[in-house]
Amino acid sequence: MGRIITIPQERGVYYDGPAGLVALPTRVFLPVQERGWKHMLGLGSPNLRAVMPGANAAVVIPNPRPSFYFRGDRPGNMTYLLRGERKPDHRQFRMSRSRYDTEWMQFRQENLTGVEIEPLGGGLSVIRPTADLTSGEYVIVAVLEPRFRAIRLAFDFGVAR
């Protein structure tokens, strides 16, 4: 017989780990444009990056294929699992600026991991990566409202092995 877990009613992303249910920190994911010499010379498209404070996420999980419980508006095709880079005092997540008006930023394929989303009802879904995660810093990025694609929420965590 499986155990019963109770997911809080507050919107958010929760990880069910060995010590029990843990809420992932919620942040606004708003990339800023990087300016460099290539951009000044008109070569290539500008890069974007979002920065999270701290060299490591506050929540570190040991499981390379975790399940997360998402409470809130149902996640959909605008929910992403993105790997970031560690820096001495922050973590950064790089993107490319899109040429299309409908999607102003594009995540880099090498930083994305596919996700399976299983609706459970009542505004609750399970999000699972489709592949094992390697050690590092990650963020689940979700669009709040399709009409406002630039405003996204980020739920960050780290994977340790």
Instruction: Strands of the chain (E only): list them.
Output: 12-17, 20-23, 26-29, 32-33, 47-53, 60-61, 68-71, 79-83, 85-86, 90-97, 105-107, 112-113, 115-121, 124-129, 136-143, 152-159
Q: Give tens-digit pLDDT for 16-43.
A: 888 889 999 998 887 767 666 666 666 6
The chain-wide mean pLDDT, for the chain, equals 82
Domain that holds residue 97: 13-159
**Does 107 map to a domain?**
yes
**Does 55 map to a domain?**
yes
**Does 151 map to a domain?**
yes
pLDDT of residue 28: 85
**Does 8 map to a domain?**
no
**Does 122 map to a domain?**
yes
Q: What percent of the chain has pLDDT over 90?
A: 35
Q: Give tens-digit pLDDT for 91-120.
A: 888 877 655 544 556 777 888 899 999 998
How many structural domains compose the chain? 1
